[in-house]
């Protein structure tokens, strides 16, 4: 059965470019972006790993660790790191799991036999500090991921965990948010004393509160 939102992310121990990873222990009280790649020494993956490395300061601001995976062996990962540095101008600065035995791939359902029965698809998981899966996205092998969108969802999750809000279509950090229907107007007066724009009883827009 495939993993679903709210499930506990399976724990594992696997080798990586940063040494042996005991996943739950490594994650600690951080958010985690876990993402898989079809194969080392492939063009789309090379650009993605360079981008995630560039985004490390943004992940750090959000108390978030990134960790990648493919089914290639560790020596291939280490050789590929040089290509990433050379072509993307950014060295690999997060662990890349060497899942040659497919242990992690199978735990997380990253191999889709009807697409390819040996390579992992481009899966993305956002996992919160309680080790719960909060987002899953699967891309085809030919399409590079949009990590600006991954950051956007991460911002939304962290904001809405802290406040009784949801974020509307195309929301970006700083935009107006939606007061969730479970919050009565009386409660909303306490939570949002500056007021809100009630377009419908179920659609109440409010300025984004400050994030802690």
**Contacts (Cβ under 8 Å, ≥6 apart) of 116:** 38, 141
Rounded CA-CA distance 17/19 in Å is 6
| Fold classified for 13-145 | Glutaredoxin (3.40.30)
Residue ranges per domain, the chain? Answer: 13-145, 163-206
- b (16+ CB within 10 A) / e for 2-38: ebeeeeebeeeebbbbeeebebbebbeebbbbbbbbb
**What are 35-90's pLDDT values in tens digits?**
998 888 889 999 999 999 999 999 999 999 999 998 888 999 889 899 999 999 99
More confident residue, 101 or 167: 167
Query: pLDDT value at position 119?
Result: 64
pTM for this entry: 0.93
Query: pLDDT value at position 41?
Result: 87
**Contacts (Cβ under 8 Å, ≥6 apart) of 14:** 20, 21, 23, 97, 98, 99, 103, 104
By DSSP bridging, strand 31-36 and strand 165-166 are unpaired
Rounded CA-CA distance 159/209 in Å is 9
Query: pLDDT value at position 110?
Result: 86
**Average pLDDT of the residues of the chain:** 92
- How many other C-beta atoms are found inside a 10 Å radius of the C-beta of residue 161? 11
CB 135 within 8 A of CB 124: yes
What SS3 state is found at 102? coil
Q: How would you classify residue 141: left for phi > 0, otherwise alpha for psi between -120 and 50, otherwise beta?
A: alpha
| Fold classified for 163-206 | Antioxidant, Horf6; Chain A, domain 2 (3.30.1020)
CB 108 within 8 A of CB 3: yes
pLDDT at 1 over 60: no
Residue with structure tokens 């490395």? 53
Catalytic residues: 45
**What are 161-206's pLDDT values in tens digits?**
999 999 999 999 999 999 999 999 999 999 999 999 999 999 999 9
Once rounded to an integer, what is the mean pLDDT over residues 128-139?
96
């Amino acid at each position: 059965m495939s993993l679903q939102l709210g499930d506990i992310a399976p724990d594992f121990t696997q080798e990586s470019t940063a040494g042996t990873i005991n996943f739950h222990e490594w994650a600690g009280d951080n958010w985690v972006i876990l993402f898989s790649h079809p194969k080392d020494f492939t063009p789309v993956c090379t650009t993605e790993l360079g981008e995630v490395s560039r985004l490390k300061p943004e992940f750090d601001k959000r108390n978030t660790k990134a960790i990648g995976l493919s089914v290639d062996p560790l020596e291939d990962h280490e050789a590929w790191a040089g290509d990433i540095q050379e072509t993307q101008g950014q060295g690999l600065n997060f662990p890349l799991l060497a899942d040659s035995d497919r242990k992690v791939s199978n735990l997380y359902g990253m191999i889709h036999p009807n697409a390819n029965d040996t390579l992992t698809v481009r899966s993305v998981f956002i996992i919160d500090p309680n080790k719960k899966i909060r987002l899953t996205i699967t891309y085809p092998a030919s399409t590079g991921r949009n990590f600006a969108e991954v950051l956007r969802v991460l911002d939304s999750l962290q904001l809405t965990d802290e406040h009784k809000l949801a974020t509307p279509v195309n929301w970006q950090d700083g935009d107006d948010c939606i007061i969730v229907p479970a919050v009565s107007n009386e409660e909303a007066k306490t939570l949002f004393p500056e007021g809100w724009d009630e377009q419908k009883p179920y659609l109440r827009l409010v300025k984004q509160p400050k994030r802690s």
